[in-house]
Amino acid sequence: MSSSPTHKPRPMVDLIVSVILPSLILMKLSGEDSLGVSGGLIAALAFPLGWGIFELVKYKKFNFIALLGLVSVLMTGSIGLFELDNQWLAIKEAAVPAIIGIAVLVSTFTPYPLIRALLFNASVMDTETIKQKLEEHGSTKMFEKKLMNATYFIAGSFAFSATMNYVLAKWIVTSPAGTEAFNEELGQMTLYSYPMIAIPSMIMMMAIFYYLWRSIHKATGLKLEDLLVKK
């Protein structure tokens, strides 16, 4: 049996396919003299939708966040194509990160907390060595408290994303769905969301990872190079 290819992060490709190209199509090719309103919307949504499906199929690995991304794209397309009230766009934009944040909190009451999948997982950190060192230093309970704090921080970062997504959608997308102006505003919102939401959220996640690393270092004495999985 052949194993699935190893997934390698490609942030620039993700940015171009999922943000830049769809935004340009919505803003420049939605006029009646080009693709038209519906054609422009379908073409723009085809890029992130197709890319998400390609990633899921090629690497054959269920990804809760990727699935939410696909659902988000389909919902955006439905709002535009069926000309629903653009209030639903703002609700949808806020709902996706809100659902993830709630899922992170709720998962702490299950055997599979999402904090371990997002940050403290065996593909990123040498979890077995860390657990062994925690037991040796009698720091397991203290580390679990730090891990719970990191969970609250992550949920807070998604709450920030949900709030900013709602504000951005209400601020920029004011035209009725199904119009050329709606598509242009949707493209602008997509472009602005990267510097205003995605980058701050990324910085928050890096800060949370640093907090987690410092907590592990204090509890075990392990250095960063000892914590990470050797590639």
d(CA 27, CA 145): 47
Q: Where are the alpha helices (DSSP H) in 119-196?
A: 127-137, 140-172, 180-193
Element (H, E) at 223: none
Q: Which two tokens stand for residue 191?
A: 């472009």
Q: Rg (Cα) of the chain, in Å, rounded? A: 20
Residue matched to tokens 């396919």: 17
First to last CA, the chain: 23
Residues 165/171/177/180 CA torsion (nearest 10 deg): -110
Each residue's pLDDT, cut to its tens digit, for the chain (231 residues) gives: 455 566 565 666 776 777 778 888 887 777 777 788 888 888 888 888 887 777 777 766 555 555 666 677 778 878 887 888 888 999 988 988 898 889 889 988 887 788 877 777 777 778 888 888 888 888 888 888 988 999 999 999 999 999 999 999 999 999 988 888 888 898 889 888 888 888 898 899 899 989 988 888 888 888 877 777 665
Are 89 and 173 in contact by the 8 Å Cβ rule? The answer is yes
CA proximity to 165, closest of 93, 96, 225, 74: 93
3-state helix, strand, coil in the chain (%, to 5): 75, 0, 25
The reported pLDDT for the residue numbered 17 is 76
Q: Which two tokens stand for residue 8?
A: 């390698």
Q: How many residues does the chain have?
A: 231
pTM of the model: 0.77
